Amino acid sequence: MQVLTGRNACPTFMQELLEKMVGRKIDVYCGGASSLRGEVIKVEGGVLHLKDNDQKLVFVAVAKITVVWDARDDDHRAGFVPFSGEK
């Protein structure tokens, strides 16, 4: 698994890494309580183009990406587990 953090990576290096991941399913974290998942379609002009499970395109500014890693499986999601309110 490749993990790259924003603290030790410049946007150019992140873009080069993402360009090598075209066709792979990845999780992308930009901060906050959630992450994005999708297949890397292309990286162009500082923008990551992802296709999600519903075949919708998602566009992410490469400079805003903090961490990226290979998606492990469809059921696993990074971030917080939603609270159901049941005990």
pLDDT tier, 81 (very low <50, low <70, confident <90, very high otherwise): very low
Contact (CB, 8 A) for 78 and 31: no
55-78 tens-digit pLDDT: 999 999 999 999 999 998 766 554
Asked if residue 25 lies in contact with residue 39, where contact means CB atoms within 8 angstroms, the answer is yes
Tokens of 3: 């993990």
Whether pTM exceeds 0.95: no
The CB-side HSE value for 54 (13 A sphere, CA atoms) comes to: 4
Domains of the chain (ranges plus CATH)? Answer: 4-70 (2.30.30.100)
Cα 80 from chain centroid (whole Å): 16
